[in-house]
Structure 1
């Protein structure tokens, strides 16, 4: 039973953590290079937020959103 857990440990430490080990070594020479993945995710989230707000504005302007408080039967 112990060998199964040792195999899982070996798999994660030697195979799955290769990208993390690469970024850990890269951080010693270039902080920006090591954090490029974080910057990419932040840019994607910023673009998605702007797109979402733009879509909300379009739906509000066209009158598609129902803001009636009696939209649900239990609120009557």
Structure 2
């Protein structure tokens, strides 16, 4: 069972987090956090898109707004 956990450790340390090793040795804070800023911008754009879609469905009155959502309630 320990080889299973060592395999998970190897996957994360040597494969998934390998790009972060490059950014660790940079001197600039802005350059070091480039990936985090990219994730933030992508997440913010996705949130704006999602809110726009919710507004479209709300304006069309397509949502069932009854008090109880299930018959057994």
TM-score, with length taken from structure 1:
0.70
RMSD (Å) for aligned C-alpha atoms:
2.8
- Runs of 4 or more above 3 Å deviation: none
The reply on whether 1:21 has 2:25 as its aligned counterpart is no
The reply on whether 1:68 has 2:61 as its aligned counterpart is no
Larger radius of gyration: 1
73 and 23 in structure 1: CA distance in 2 versus 1, 3 angstrom threshold: same
Corresponding residue for 2:30? 32
Structure 1: runs of 5+ lacking an equivalent: none
* Structure with higher helix content: 1
Cα shift at 1:15? 4.2
Cα shift at 1:44? 0.6
Corresponding residue for 1:42? 40
